[in-house]
Amino acid sequence: MRKSLLATGGAVAAAVLILALLATSCGTGNQGGMSTDLRALMSARNLSEADVAAALKTYTPTGGRDEFYLFASGGHSGNLLVIGVPSMRILKYVGVFTPEPWQGYGFDEETRRIIRDGSPPGLPLTWGDMHHPALSETNGDYDGEYIFVNDKANARIAVVSLRDFATKQIVMSDLIQGDHGGTFVTPNTEYVIETAQFPAPLGGGYAPLSDYDDEYRGAQIFWKFDRTRGRIVPEESWAIELPPYMQDLADAGKLASDGWIFCNSFNTERAYGGIQQGNPALESGASQNDMDYLHIFDLRRAEAVVKQGRTTLIAGMRVLTLPVLVEEGLLHFVPEPKSPHGVDIAPDGNAICVSGKLDTHVTVYDFAKIRQLIEQKRYDGVDPYGVPILPFRDAIRGQVEIGLGPLHTQFDDRGSAYTSVFIESNVARWSLADLTLQEKIPVHYNIGHLCAAEGDALHPRGKYLVAMNKWAIDRFSDVGPLLPQNFQLIDISGDKMQVLYDLPIPLGEPHYAQMISADKIKAIEMYTPVGTDPVTGELHPDAVVREADARVDRRADGVHVYMTLVRSHLNPDIVEVRRGDRVVFHVTNLEQARDATHGFAVDKYNVNLSVEPGKAADAAFVADRAGVFPFYCTEFCSALHLEMAGYLLVKP
């Protein structure tokens, strides 16, 4: 035992201690009582002491709470995943870009409007490709009020409130055709940043690919967030035009670099594929140059230039064009090796970390040096669009040799940085102070992003890191050709990192996540007063706050059913309409008891609401088929839940 303890490190100490305690507390007369049971369990399940230590570090007894919330993108599902850490219990999937039946999201009129307002005219989108969640920040630290997410496929940004864990708004700009570099917030959440990946004519027009260099452009949007209203204000938002490289992820500066925005890019070759046309495929066309450009943008000065009205209106968005950016000295480039992915600002606000997918290093830039180069106008030339390029060697602090395929970097509370290494499938821990590699731990497999506790905020918490692995080839029971992703929880509190837990993610490919201290989340327990519309946060105009007011109103625009839900009946419970009538159910849950949620479904009319305590919501449809259509409560709310039902009679 001594030997294995030494071999596997301090992580095992907890398990050993507990085994020892159990053994002694049982007394000599009962030698080994519980301890023997534990040992038998370990051998029956073939568990090592390290396994038991890992189990003890994640196990959360019933009723227990987690120390952190992990908010992870749900990838193709368009949902946001909420996971407890360290238990790795899934707490919720929040419907955001995609209708989500359990929450009635995208089914009631209120949330259908959210999706419709964030979709092309006449085409309410039914999926999203969620990549990067960003928690709202105050003074550079997460404040637990809001979370923003992007939809790469459709260039959308959503606002989710962490009061009720529900989506409040989706905005889509026609300026760009898809985003990848979103979302990132400024240290006080004045802006939510969204950056296009695929150059295209700004504003959605057509231009042939032969005009790529002249007509195709990148762009970065600064969505203005109004915290008191909890909404993005499109009219106060603006954007910058960028060269037709592929802009990637961004990060907002903090402390010394506050007011600056950093965005990496690849494809400075301006390749656009064309295999059939005799061009190299995009993957090789975009990988010719040894260096691409880190974009350094002066947000504070740009705000002043926007205020002066030096913008051009494109697709309803005020845009600072490239000539204005150049003329005003708002945008600079510095070379970055090679086809980079992601840029991460260290907690000191000065170290800017970039990894090249095709380079073995993390390059650490020094903001103080960058600032000086900009002030001294020390350029190594300009790019084809006139953007000045700072000299690489004079802008960096140094490079850390990491391994093959480094991607993203996070930080802890002890001066270490953690970089995901995709090709090698590991997490590298390195020292920010002297830029030396400290340790690598294998993960399974093909890690993309990684997420440490508050790991990109001003004050990271350390303790835990989640490796977000793309492949899970041999980790779980087989479920056919489409495999889940694998989140691996890693203990980073000790001198040696230890993998604690594998959580399969079965509904999409998550990209990024953020982890926040649980005590910062102040969620409501129900909607108060009764009749609240969760989307507006105000009393729903058609709420029925007393059962005495439940009724059916026949009006020129249709049949309005004012319905109350309370355990265990719906009132009215018989509704008669004529075929062709428009029917609007205005449904209010009168309950003010925790978890007393009722559902409301009408059979074969695609009506499905979730009506949490105090909530009011509408369902509208045209009853275009005659017949008898039962409606019922879809949440097992009470002993007489099955009796919580009624009939919609549609007369021919």
Q: Which stretch binds ligand CUA (CB under 6 A): 237-245, 323-331, 440-448, 634-642?
A: 634-642
Site string for ligand CUA, 530-569 (x = CB under 6 A): --------------------------------------x-
Q: Return the residues of window 449-478 that contact ligand CUA according to CB under 6 A.
A: none
d(CA 271, CA 248): 15
Name every residue whose Cβ is closer than 8 Å to that of residue 193 and which is 6 or more positions away in sequence: 181, 182, 183, 184, 185, 186, 220, 221, 222, 223, 250, 252, 261
Site string for ligand CUA, 579-618 (x = CB under 6 A): -------------------x--------------------
Give me the amino acid identity at 632. Y
Q: Nearest CA to 88 among 460, 499, 442, 524?
A: 499
Q: Which stretch binds ligand CUA (CB under 6 A): 52-60, 197-205, 284-292, 630-638?
A: 630-638
Q: Nearest CA to 521 among 229, 227, 160?
A: 160
Smallest separation, CB 637 to ligand CUA (Å):
3
- Please pick, from the candidates 637, 646, 648, 650, the single residue that binds ligand CUA as defined by CB under 6 A: 637
HEC string for 121-189: CCCCCCCCCECCCEEEEECCEEEEEEEEEEECCCCEEEEEECCCCEEEEEEECCCCCCEEEEEEECCCC
Smallest separation, CB 563 to ligand CUA (Å):
12
Nearer residue to ligand K7E within complex by CB, 132 or 168:
132
- Please pick, from the candidates 635, 646, 648, 650, the single residue that binds ligand CUA as defined by CB under 6 A: 635
What is the arrangement of strands in the sheet containing 331-337, beginning at the earlier edge strand?
246-252, 260-266, 291-298, 331-337
Residue 196: helix, strand or coil by DSSP? strand
What is the separation, in whole angstroms, between the first and last Cα of the chain? 80
Rounded to whole angstroms, what are the CA distances from 621 to 107, 558, 579, 607?
11, 10, 12, 8
Q: Return the residues of window 231-270 that contact ligand K7E according to CB under 6 A.
A: 249
Site string for ligand CUA, 196-215 (x = CB under 6 A): --------------------
- Please pick, from the candidates 254, 429, 444, 511, the single residue that binds ligand K7E as defined by CB under 6 A: 511
Name every residue whose Cβ is closer than 8 Å to that of residue 89 and which is 6 or more positions away in sequence: 60, 66, 83
Q: Which parts of 299-339 are beta strand (E)? A: 312-314, 317-320, 331-337
- Please pick, from the candidates 252, 334, 466, 644, the single residue that binds ligand CUA as defined by CB under 6 A: 644
Site string for ligand K7E, 112-131 (x = CB under 6 A): -------------------x
Smallest separation, CB 444 to ligand K7E (Å):
16
If one asks whether residue 641 binds ligand CUA (CB under 6 A), the answer comes out as yes
Q: Return the residues of window 444-473 that contact ligand K7E according to CB under 6 A.
A: 448-449
Nearer residue to ligand K7E within complex by CB, 151 or 533:
151
d(CA 175, CA 234): 12
Nearer residue to ligand CUA within complex by CB, 8 or 568:
568
DSSP states along 75-105:
BTT-EEEEEEETT--EEEEEESSS-BGGGTB
If one asks whether residue 156 binds ligand K7E (CB under 6 A), the answer comes out as no
Nearer residue to ligand K7E within complex by CB, 510 or 531:
510
Tokens 């070379």 locate to 335
Residues lying near ligand K7E in the complex (CB under 6 A) are found at 131-132, 180, 249, 341, 407-408, 448-449, 511-512
Residue numbers at the binding site for ligand CUA (CB under 6 A): 568, 598, 633, 635-637, 641, 644
